[in-house]
Amino acid sequence: MEYVKTRTIMTKSDKGSHWFGIDYHMNLYKGCSYGCIYCDSRSDAYHIENFDVVRSKENALKILEEELSSKQYKGVVSFGTLSDPYNKEEEMYEITRGALELIKKYEFGVSIDTKSDLILRDVDLLKEIQEKNNVIIKISVTTYEDELSRVLEPHVISSTRRFEVLNILRKNGIYAGILMTPVLPFITDSEDNIKTIVSKACENKAKFVYTKMGMTLRRRAREYYYEQIDKLYPGLSFDYKSVYEKNVVVNPLKYKDLLEIFVNECNKYHVLCDMSEIIQDYKRKIPTREQISLF
C-alpha cells in the first residue's frame, strides 16, 4: 500500500461538538475503494487525488500516540468522516485497530462511521473504550433495497448485512444507530424507503436514526455522480440540472413532507432522531486532566 507523508493525524473539530459530539477528527486512510457513486469526499474541497485508490499516512500510529498523549481533554475522536476506516486494506494492515488500541490506552472516546462488517472484529476494543469514555457507531444505510445498494455502492456489503452488524453491536452493549445519508433525489427519496429504513433500524435495536434528508454535490463529485447516474438511469442528470442547477446542497422536492414522515416514524418506534438528543443520550461528561489531578 502506498503511504503519504503527514505531520498531523488528529484535528480539533471546527464545528465544536454539534455533530455527534465530536471533539477531534481523524482520517487514517486517504481514498476509498467502495465506489459509492454519491461520495462527497471526491469533491475538490478535500484535495484527494485518485480517490478510488486507498493510501495510508506514514507513521500514522506513532504520530497519533504523540498527539493523544499531549491532549489535555480526552474527547471523542471521529473515524471515517472522509474515508471509511474499515476498507478492504484494513483487513491486512490493521491501522484502524491499532488506533483503537491507542484510544483505549489514553482513555479517549470514539465515533465511527462505516458501511463495513469488519468493525465487528473490533467489538472487544469498543467495549473496553466504552467502559472509560464515550462510543458512538453510525452504520451508513442509503437504501434498504440490496439490489439498489449494489449499484449505488458497488463494493459495499448489502444493506441487509449492515442491519445485522447494527444488531450485533447493540447485543454487545455498544451505542450504535443508523446514518441515513445521503438521501438521493429521484432515487432513494421515497416514503417507502424512509419508513422501511426506520422500521428495520428499530427491529435491530438502533439507538438512533439520523438524516439530513438530502445530499451534497460539490465540484468534481457532482460531475462524477451525474456520469454514474446517467449510466443507471439515462438522462436523470438532466432532471438534477433543471431543478438544482449548481446548488451544493440538494434536497428532495418533497423535503418537508419526507422529513415530517421521518420524524413521525422515529417517534412511533421511540428511536432518537434529533442531533442534540442523540448527543445527550450517549455522551457523558469526561473530566480534564487538571480536574482529575484535583482528586
Q: In order of start, what are the domains of the chain with their CATH numbers?
A: 3-211+254-283 (3.20.20.70), 215-250 (no CATH)
Residues of the chain whose pLDDT is less than 50? 289-295
pLDDT recorded at residue 291? 45
Which residues are CB-contacts of 27 (< 8 A; sequence separation ≥ 6)? 79, 80, 81, 82, 83, 85
Distances (CA, A) of 60 to 1, 43, 112, 272: 14, 24, 18, 35
pLDDT recorded at residue 14? 73
pLDDT recorded at residue 295? 39
- CA gap 286, 134 in Å, rounded: 9
Handedness of CA 202, 204, 207, 211 (dihedral sign): negative
- CA gap 225, 238 in Å, rounded: 12
pLDDT recorded at residue 18? 82
Specify the pTM: 0.94
pLDDT recorded at residue 47? 82
Which residues are CB-contacts of 290 (< 8 A; sequence separation ≥ 6)? 72
- CA gap 111, 115 in Å, rounded: 14
- What totals of helices (H) and strands (E) does the chain contain, helices first? 12, 12
